[in-house]
Amino acid sequence: MNRSISRSSGDQTVQARVYSQLRQSILDGDFRPGRSVTIRGLADELNVSPMPVREALRRLTTERALEVSGTGRVSVPKMTPAKLQELVRARICLEKQAAIDAMPFIGKTRLQRLTRFDRKINRMIARADHQGYVIAHRKFHFDLYSAGKGSVFMPLIESVWLQISPFLTSTLLHLDSYSTSDRHIEILAALENQDATALGFAVEADIRHGLGALTESDWQKKA
Amino acid sequence: MNRSISRSSGDQTVQARVYSQLRQSILDGDFRPGRSVTIRGLADELNVSPMPVREALRRLTTERALEVSGTGRVSVPKMTPAKLQELVRARICLEKQAAIDAMPFIGKTRLQRLTRFDRKINRMIARADHQGYVIAHRKFHFDLYSAGKGSVFMPLIESVWLQISPFLTSTLLHLDSYSTSDRHIEILAALENQDATALGFAVEADIRHGLGALTESDWQKKA
DNA sequence: TACAATATTTTGTGATCACAAAAATTTGGA
DNA sequence: TCCAAATTTTTGTGATCACAAAATATTGTA
């Protein structure tokens, strides 16, 4: 039909747009572990040709957000206890450093925004809105780390989050309540005092308690 | 010509083979910063069709080994002082943790192999074989980290190395001699004693001194 | 010679096709 | 009803084409 190449959506290539959409969907928890995704299936769903989807999927498998089976089928990886522990360790060492690097660039404006995100997180927990929680939680952390000017840490951190997100959301759904111990308060306090050491501890505690609880508790509930 | 799909090289797809080759070439320092790479150019060079090259390049840009310009052209990223510093910080926090995680799995066999790699590194330095040095150096570190059973840290570490390698090799070429302070000895000693703290310090020192020296000294010499 | 305008070539992107292999479905016999 | 064999459909991979835009080369004029 439309044989002319029209990068009609803001000068981006179709491939880039599809990639961003899928990436976002994965981070938002729209993809469940074990779900298999096909090129043509996604292409039909997104109303694009198979070509851009193919490249987007290849990119996502490269950053371990998806995995390819021996026969080339693409699916959302399943979580294992060992893998989750390793991902937690990766999050801790990367995000500790990223937070400390970002600290000097955290001004009053951003601190207020972070505080708003924190309140939103609490609201989402209160109303048991799992997806809303996951999204607000991510905004808090990413907004913090991206205050640093660098271009190295964020992609690494995002790769780790992409690997955790499907599992996290699917597990949260099977939990009636989860640890509301709000470590974000400690992070905010450390930022206000410009205390790098306290910030490092707070970030580590936040990650360890947020995901560590899942390692122990109802692991079996999920498929 | 050959219209049938024959995965003639060991059941791998052409795309996977091209990707591995390019990845290896980048790590080996065959690509200089600033060099531009084209799909068709590489396809002709590797005697494959443009298709697999296209996907391989997309993957490598996703992991920041290559970068795309505003017009879609792909090239090897140039280094900046700030970026190198950030990459060094990333290496330190990732490799410190990876080494400590791997330590329990380092047996006598692997320790001997690591020692051989270390001796090879020294030989390469002695004969000023820069590429040989880079390769042996990488083998030492990757062999150490991959002793751990995990699947999370290695890809992250490799992504960082991919970003450093082109710059490292091109800089080494302009240096008549470089810091031979052999921190690997300390790493090996820490491994033998199963001393996690000492290992962490040794890895950090190795990275900081190896790349930190470049940050100061002849930065300007390269293009 | 210098430089801007024009023409040519190169290049990335997306679409589509053929093919083989894997999945899914149907079929047929006990 | 059950299960294995045969058939059909789905799917990933690689090749090739068209197109537009960018990069490069060429030309013409002062």
Minimum-distance residue to C11 (CA–C1'): B38
Q: Please state the three-class secondary structure of chain B as a single string.
A: CCCCCCCCCCCCCHHHHHHHHHHHHHHCCCCCCCCEECHHHHHHHHCCCHHHHHHHHHHHHHCCCCEECCCCCEECCCCCHHHHHHHHHHHHHHHHHHHHHHHHHCCHHHHHHHHHHHHHHHHHHHCCCHHHHHHHHHHHHHHHHCCCCCCCHHHHHHHHHHHHHHHHHHHHHCCCCCCCCCCHHHHHHHHHCCCHHHHHHHHHHHHHHHHHHHHHCCCCCCC
Asked if A150 lies within 8 A of B93 by C-beta distance, the reply is no
Contact A148, A105 (CB under 8 A): yes
Lowest mean pLDDT among A21-30, A33-42, A206-215: A206-215
Closest CA to B130 of B86, B170, B187: B170
Contact A183, A202 (CB under 8 A): yes
Angle, helix A184-192 to helix A196-216, in steps of 10 degrees:
170
| Bridge partners, residue A67, by sequence | A75
**Residues 177 through 206 of chain B touching chain A, CB cutoff 8 Å:** none
Tens digit of pLDDT for each residue in A87-125? 999 999 999 999 999 999 999 999 999 999 999 999 998
Which residue has tokens 């009609």?
A8
Tens digit of pLDDT for each residue in A164-215? 999 998 888 776 666 656 689 999 999 999 999 999 999 999 999 888 777 6
Tens digit of pLDDT for each residue in A42-93? 999 999 999 999 999 999 999 999 999 999 999 999 999 999 999 999 999 9
Q: Which residues of B touch A150 (CB under 8 A)?
A: 82-83, 86
User: Nearest nucleotide by C1' from A18 CA?
Assistant: C14
Closest CA to B38 of B1, B2, B69, B78: B69
Q: Is A7 on the interface with B (CB under 8 A)?
A: no
**Is strand C within 7 Å of residue B54 (CB)?**
yes
Which residue has tokens 């024959």?
B6
Which residue has tokens 């000693």?
B189
Contact B58, B42 (CB under 8 A): no
pLDDT at residue A8 is higher than 70:
no
Which residue has tokens 């990436």?
A23
Asked if B90 lies within 8 A of A94 by C-beta distance, the reply is yes
What pLDDT does B52 receive? 98
Nearest CA in chain A to B101: A86
Q: How confident is the model at residue A220 (pLDDT cuts 50, 70, 90)?
A: low
At A109, list the tokens. Answer: 């404006």
Q: Is A55 on the interface with B (CB under 8 A)?
A: yes
The three-class DSSP label of residue A139 is helix
Asked if A101 lies within 8 A of B89 by C-beta distance, the reply is yes
Compute the distance between CA of residue A9 and CA of residue A14 in angstroms, rounded to an integer: 8
What are the CA-CA distances from residue A13 to residues A7, A20, A96 (Å)?
6, 11, 35
For chains A and B, CB pairs below 8 A equal 86
Give the DSSP letter string of A178-217: -----THHHHHHHHHTT-HHHHHHHHHHHHHHHHHHHHHT
At B160, list the tokens. Answer: 């960082």
Q: Which of B86, B91, B101, B160 is most worth mutating to test chain A (most A CB atoms within 10 A of its CB)?
A: B86
Q: What are phi and psi of B96, to 5 degrees?
A: -55, -55
Those residues with Cβ within 8 angstroms of residue A212's Cβ, 6 or more apart along the chain or in another chain: A88
Our CA-based measurement puts residue A191 at a distance from the nearest CA of chain B, in whole angstroms, of: 20
What pLDDT does B5 receive? 46
At B19, list the tokens. Answer: 């990707």
Nearest CA in chain A to B154: A90
At B200, list the tokens. Answer: 């962490």
Q: How many CA atoms lie within 13 A of A30 on its CB side?
A: 9
Residue B62 burial by CB count (10 A; 0-12/13-18/19+): exposed, middle or buried?
Answer: buried
Q: Is B160 on the interface with A (CB under 8 A)?
A: yes
Counting every residue, how long is chain A? 223
Contact A209, A183 (CB under 8 A): yes
Q: Is B93 on the interface with A (CB under 8 A)?
A: yes
**Is strand C within 7 Å of residue A5 (CB)?**
yes
What pLDDT does B11 receive? 77
What pLDDT does B179 receive? 60
Residue B50 CA and nucleotide D15 C1' are separated, in Å, by: 9
Sign of the Cα torsion A203, A62, B89, A115 reads negative
Q: What are phi and psi of B74, to 5 degrees?
A: -105, 135
Nearest CA in chain B to A63: B63
pLDDT tens series, chain B, 223 aa: 444 444 544 579 999 999 999 999 999 999 999 999 999 999 999 999 999 999 999 999 999 999 999 999 999 999 999 999 999 999 999 999 999 999 999 999 999 999 999 999 999 988 888 889 999 999 999 999 999 999 999 999 999 999 999 999 888 877 666 665 668 999 999 999 999 999 999 999 999 988 877 766 556 544 4
Flag residues 45-64 of A with CB < 7 Å from strand C: 48-52, 55
